[in-house]
Chain A
């Protein structure tokens, strides 16, 4: 019979996240541990990556960011650590809300508070909850799998806890801003690179930056990136879908 951990006690578990064999040490009952449960997997062999913060590190972050609970800190910094390590595996996290429709993932990225989640939840309303769903509402992973580019759910999905442990081919990325009228246009490579850099964890050194840019080098020739001004309406959804669904 498995012994129950006390709430707050550090527990090490094995997970598969974005296709990666991951070992994580998380505080039992915390947001991170609870949201990671869907990703539990007792894989064979050695982990490909390890996520653990260390008590001192966590306490220091908590002292620095007094408006965040210890729980929030663990959630945010385990996510950041996974994001950083992911760079070694041809993947990166984008601060975006990812909605799936007709088997393809559409990512809407913007600074917090702009309305990414509002927009993607409108997709679910317009296309129906049976047809469109959120794969990750805050930090989906984009990862190269050989020739394919896929979007993966992760435990780090922000406040609304919407995420699914699946991966779906990426259709397009769109940078949102608020606007009275709906408009959308493609953006060039250079602009796309900088927009993406602004909405992902900053690589800390040349090697990490090189890894990220190497992924973008493979991704950008194949995936359309857009900029969109939108309001809250069905027309906003159709404007985005019509432009982004074209191959």
Chain B
């Protein structure tokens, strides 16, 4: 899975915000901002990846347990899925 084309994150006034570009903007209604972990995961998801690869990346980067990492990744991916931002 990966994030669809035409979505970018930008830092605006201290917040990392997801914005749609071009055609993607027409149906986009979600207002999504990302914290540090979310931004980290988003950047990994701009290329084809899997949930387990993401969990491993999180574990490499952050000092968290596997359970926490798995929960974070799952929650994040679901949030993006709900906003229809992912190509499976």
Q: Residues of A at under 8 Å CB distance from B?
A: 189-191, 193-194, 197, 202-206, 209-210, 213, 216-217, 220-221
Contacts and interface: CB of A to CB of B under 8 A. Distances in A.
Interface string B1-42: 000000010111111010101100100000101000000000
17 contacts: A189-B14, A190-B31, A194-B31, A202-B25, A203-B21, A204-B22, A205-B21, A209-B8, A209-B19, A209-B21, A210-B8, A210-B10, A213-B12, A217-B10, A217-B12, A217-B13, A221-B14
Contacts of B8: 206, 209-210
Given A190-B31, A190-B33, A194-B31, A206 B13 contact: no
Contacts of A216: 12-13
B13 A220 contact: yes
Interface residues of B, number: 14
A194 B14 CA distance: 15
Which secondary structure dominates chain A's binding surface? helix
A213 B10 contact: yes
A189 B13 contact: yes
Contacts of B17: 189-190, 193, 213
B10 A189 contact: no
A37 to B, nearest CB: 35
Contacts of A203: 21
A205 B6 CA distance: 8
Contacts of B10: 209-210, 213, 217
A214 to B, nearest CB: 8
Contact of B12 (A193, A204, A205): A193
A197 B19 contact: yes
Contacts of A221: 13-14
Nearest to A213: B10
Nearest to B33: A190
Nearest to B25: A202
Given A204-B22, A205-B22, 7 more contacts: A189-B14, A190-B17, A193-B15, A193-B17, A209-B8, A217-B13, A221-B14
A190 B38 CA distance: 15
